[in-house]
C-alpha cells in the first residue's frame, strides 16, 4: 500500500464556490460543530469523551465512537436532548443513542429494516440490526422502565419512508445512507427524510466519505462511498429547498491517528480497530463525514461559524 500521506488527498480536491467551507484558520476543536470529517482532535475533546462515558463506550480511536458522540453533541448544542423532544433514528442497528436520548427525556422512534427483509442477513450476523425495542435498551445508559416508555420501534426501509413519520424535532443515522443501494439513492434519502422534521428541526447524518479520489469511487451496491462532489450536490439540493447546512470542513487534522489507514488482514478479513479513524475499502481511503441540517422555516439558534471567502 502507498504511504498514508500519498492517498489522503481530500484537502487538495476542487471545492465548489457555492458551498460554504469552514475557514482554514479555524481551530480543529471549534464550536459549534460543523459538517465535518472524523478527526482525532474532536474525539479526544472533553465534550466527546463525556458523551462516550455516558454511553458506556470504550475509549478507543474508532470512527464509530466519533459518530455517536458527534450526533449527540450536535443535538445537545441545539438544545434538542431535553424532555419532550421527539427524535427519529434510521437504520439504528443496536446503537446506544436511543437509550441515551431516552435518559435525557426524549421520545424516540427507532427504525431498521423489517425482519422479513433479506438485506438483513449480514447485519444480523454482525449484531448490527434491531427488530424490537429490547435490542436498544442498555441498562448502564438508561433505566429499563424509562427506556421502554420513551423508545418505540418501527420497521422502515430508508428508500421508502412512511408518510406518517412526521413532526420530529430531530432525525439521525450513523453510517447508514451509503447502504441505500447507490449514490443517487443515498442523496434522495437525505432529501426525503427532511419531511419527517418540524420546521427548524435538525438532521444529523454520517456516511462513508472518499479521501483519496474526487472522481473514482463505488457508486452502486450494498455500500457506496460518497465523493466530495457528491456531498456538495447533497448540500446544494438541500439549500435549494431552503434548508440550512452547517459549513463543511474536510481538513484532516494534525494528530498522528488522522493519518493511519486501517485495513483488513488477509487471515482475519477484519479491521484492526485500535486506530480506525481512516480505513481502506476496495482501493479507497475512506472515513466518516457528518452533515448537520436545519429544516427551513426555523432557526438553528447558533452563531454562524467563520467560512472561507
**CATH code assigned at 196:** 3.40.50
The number of distinct structural domains making up the chain is 1
Q: Structure pTM?
A: 0.93
Mean pLDDT, all residues of the chain: 91
Domain contains 131: no
Report H helices in the chain: 4-7, 40-43, 46-55, 63-77, 97-103, 121-125, 144-150, 183-193, 228-240
What is the chain's alpha carbon radius of gyration, rounded to the nearest angstrom? 18
What percentage of residues in the chain have a pLDDT greater than 70? Answer: 88
Domain contains 41: yes
Domain contains 66: yes
d(CA 253, CA 38): 9
Domain contains 230: yes
Mean pLDDT of 124-149: 82
Q: Which domain holds residue 61?
A: 4-91+158-294
Domain contains 64: yes
- 301 has pLDDT over 80: no
Domain contains 33: yes
Confidence at 173, pLDDT banded by 50, 70, 90: very high
Helices 63-77, 46-55: axis angle to 10 degrees equals 100
What pLDDT sits at residue 274?
A: 73
Domain contains 197: yes
What pLDDT sits at residue 200?
A: 97
Domain contains 110: no
Cis peptide before 298 (omega within 30 of 0): no
- 196 has pLDDT over 80: yes
What pLDDT sits at residue 128?
A: 60
Amino acid at each position: 500500500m502507498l504511504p498514508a500521506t500519498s492517498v489522503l488527498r481530500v484537502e487538495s480536491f476542487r471545492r465548489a464556490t457555492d458551498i460554504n467551507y469552514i475557514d482554514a484558520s479555524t481551530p480543529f476543536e471549534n464550536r459549534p460543530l460543523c459538517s465535518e470529517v472524523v478527526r482525532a482532535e474532536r474525539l479526544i475533546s472533553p465534550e466527546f469523551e463525556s458523551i462516550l462515558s455516558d454511553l458506556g463506550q470504550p475509549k478507543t480511536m474508532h470512527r464509530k465512537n466519533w459518530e455517536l458522540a458527534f450526533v449527540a453533541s450536535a443535538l445537545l448544542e441545539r438544545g434538542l436532548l431535553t424532555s419532550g423532544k421527539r427524535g427519529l433514528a434510521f437504520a439504528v442497528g443496536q446503537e446506544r443513542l436511543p437509550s441515551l436520548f431516552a435518559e435525557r427525556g426524549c421520545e424516540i422512534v427507532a427504525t431498521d429494516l423489517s425482519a422479513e427483509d433479506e438485506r438483513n442477513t449480514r447485519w444480523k450476523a454482525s449484531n448490527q440490526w434491531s427488530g424490537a425495542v429490547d435490542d436498544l435498551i442498555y441498562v448502564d445508559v438508561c433505566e429499563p422502565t424509562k427506556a421502554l416508555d420513551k423508545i418505540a420501534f418501527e420497521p422502515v426501509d430508508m428508500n421508502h419512508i412512511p408518510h406518517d413519520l412526521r413532526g420530529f424535532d430531530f432525525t439521525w443515522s450513523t453510517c447508514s445512507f451509503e447502504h441505500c443501494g447507490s449514490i443517487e439513492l443515498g442523496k434522495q434519502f437525505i432529501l426525503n427524510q427532511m419531511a419527517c422534521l418540524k420546521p427548524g428541526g435538525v438532521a444529523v447524518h454520517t456516511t462513508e466519505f472518499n479521501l483519496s479520489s474526487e472522481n473514482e469511487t463505488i457508486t452502486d451496491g450494498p455500500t457506496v462511498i460518497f465523493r466530495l462532489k457528491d456531498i456538495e450536490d447533497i448540500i446544494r439540493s438541500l439549500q435549494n429547498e431552503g434548508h440550512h447546512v452547517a459549513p463543511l470542513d474536510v481538513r484532516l487534522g494534525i494528530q498522528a491517528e488522522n493519518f493511519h489507514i486501517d485495513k483488513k488482514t488477509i487471515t482475519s478479513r477484519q479491521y484492526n480497530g485500535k486506530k480506525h479513524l481512516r480505513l481502506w475499502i476496495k482501493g479507497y481511503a475512506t472515513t466518516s463525514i457528518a452533515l448537520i441540517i436545519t429544516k427551513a422555516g426555523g432557526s438553528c439558534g447558533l452563531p454562524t461559524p467563520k467560512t472561507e471567502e
